[in-house]
Amino acid sequence: MVKKFNSKPGFISRVRILILILLLSPLYSNFFDPGENCIYSETGRTEIYFPLANGLKVYLWPNFNSPLSTIVLAVKAGTVEENQETNGYLHLLEHCLLFRQNHLLIEKQLFSTIRNTGMYYNAHTDQDIMSFEVCLEEKNLEEALTLLKDIVFSFELTEEALEKEKIVICQEIKEIERDPLKVGLTKIYSSIFSSSSYGLPVYGQEKVISQTTVSGLRDFYQKLFYPNNSALVIIGNFNPNKIKEVINRIYSDLKPGPVKVKPAFVPSGSAVKYSQLEMRMKIPKTYLLAGWLGPSYNQPDAVPLELLVEILGRGINPLLYGAFAGYPELVSSLSLHYLSHEKAGLIFLSAVTSENNVSTIKRLLQNFFLTLAEINYGLDDYPPGQQYLIIDFLQGGKNRIKWLAEKSLEEPILLGRALAKHLLIADESKSLNYLAAIGSQNSSDLRRVAREYLGKGKPVWLIIKPEK
């Protein structure tokens, strides 16, 4: 059976993916040795990293305990590359490269390959990266690698094919605009990053998409889709020497593109003033959402903030629910996420409630966030005689992150996407063992980031109410 998936994951799935990217990918950065091809992990696993002469970064994870092999080919092409006039080009490119190119449709070549190999076939775009992924049997790896090269590093599109895909994407946008969490997250991004491209919706603007031409899309494509702006990750039970030879044979003839000069990036969120926005949608309950500017992927504060968010928002005893002690009926759902990107980050809170409770919930949350800089998170914060019946939030959060890192080995597609993203946006000058860094955090570290980002940080609040 051929599995067909929408190329845009749902909001909750996308948030989990982004969290996994932060959790997993720094775990491997300290194993990269520029002088060696082999990377030896603390668990005894051996991975292989090597760049091609054209700049394509390749990461192989052979002998992975999975019945199928996974390939992720990622390009550093996210909405940060767009502007108001091009917002939606990447969404179009993702769909058109995946399904509409002429050379892939001749004699139904693309769909014959999918049918004959039974592979999972999908793509995703976020603020920094566009990734193309397949999952299939090891015997079909060479065929899949050839297909991915033809998909990502070719642009053969007719106006007729583009017009057909515009209809699909505009319908997809209409579906997104019925989801309060997706609409709310987009609004929070646009408010906090109002003067940068991170504030643009990942799915694009319908008016831009409807006016896009093949020539305009081609010009945009040619600025980004080069091997030296890409990474290839393969995970599975395969012969690494054989696959290295196949990769060199298939991808070495690609020509590198010009080296991009990165402009200075000053997130507008650093100057965001307290604000409250309101809107109405056809929904049964009220959504109270909030966003704070957070650290970027490579900033040192990303590690303690991720641990703090894990303690506050997840596990069997999320500390965030302590904000409503004595008020158990105020919220029916509550979540907190930290979304990290190459140049900035976002802390995102969502609560589902009734319209009458919004003011109370907001007041309780604001007061609670101010207390986070004073909380004792671990047992070491108490004298030995006072540790009895104390909840060790600090160790519980560390344990959950270790568990999530190990559990990720059951999701090679997410793992491959995380590693590809890390190869493309991680600061190569820094070496970090993520789990060791998590293990070294103490309550003072958590109190510091709580004060910096949730205490002093200026939130944007958004209330989405049901239509009357």
Instruction: Say how many C-beta atoms besides its own lie within 10 A of residue 77's C-beta.
Output: 26
Give CA–CA dist 450/320, Å, rounded: 13
Instruction: Confirm if 330 and 353 have CB atoms less than 8 A apart.
Output: yes
268-412+427-466 matches 11-251 in CATH topology = yes
Instruction: Confirm if 417 and 21 have CB atoms less than 8 A apart.
Output: yes
**202-228 tens-digit pLDDT:** 999 999 999 999 999 999 999 999 999
Assign domain 11-251 to its CATH superfamily.
Metalloenzyme, LuxS/M16 peptidase-like (3.30.830.10)
Give the domain ranges of the chain: 11-251, 268-412+427-466
Per-residue pLDDT at 107: 60
Q: What is the 8-class DSSP label of residue 379? A: G
Provide the token pair at 266. 């000053």
Q: In angstroms, what CA-CA distances link 18 with 249, 270, 353, 443?
A: 33, 22, 26, 25
Q: In angstroms, what CA-CA distances link 16 with 142, 320, 414?
A: 30, 18, 10
Nearest C-alpha neighbor of 113 from the set 81, 154, 76, 145 = 145
Give CA–CA dist 411/417, Å, rounded: 10
Sign of CA dihedral 29, 27, 441, 272: positive
What is the DSSP secondary-structure string of 17-55? Answer: HHHHHHHHGGGGGGG--TT-SEEE-TTS-EEEEEE-TTS
Per-residue pLDDT at 267: 58
Q: Residue 95 corresponds to which amino acid? A: H
Give CA–CA dist 298/308, Å, rounded: 17
Per-residue pLDDT at 390: 77
Residue 299 has φ and ψ, to the nearest 5°, of -75, 145
Give CA–CA dist 435/31, Å, rounded: 13
Q: How many helices and strands (H and E) does the chain possess?
A: 16, 12
Tell me if the pTM is above 0.85: yes
Per-residue pLDDT at 157: 92
Give CA–CA dist 157/97, Å, rounded: 8
Provide the token pair at 412. 């090679």
What is the DSSP secondary-structure string of 182-241? Answer: HHHHHHHHHHHTTTSGGGS-TT--HHHHHH--HHHHHHHHTTT-SGGGEEEEEESS--HH
Q: Residue 291 corresponds to which amino acid? A: G
Per-residue pLDDT at 264: 58
Residue 52 has φ and ψ, to the nearest 5°, of -80, 165
Give CA–CA dist 119/140, Å, rounded: 9
CATH placement of domain 268-412+427-466: 3.30.830.10
Give CA–CA dist 32/50, Å, rounded: 10
Q: Which residues of the chain have pLDDT under 50?
A: 1-44, 269-271
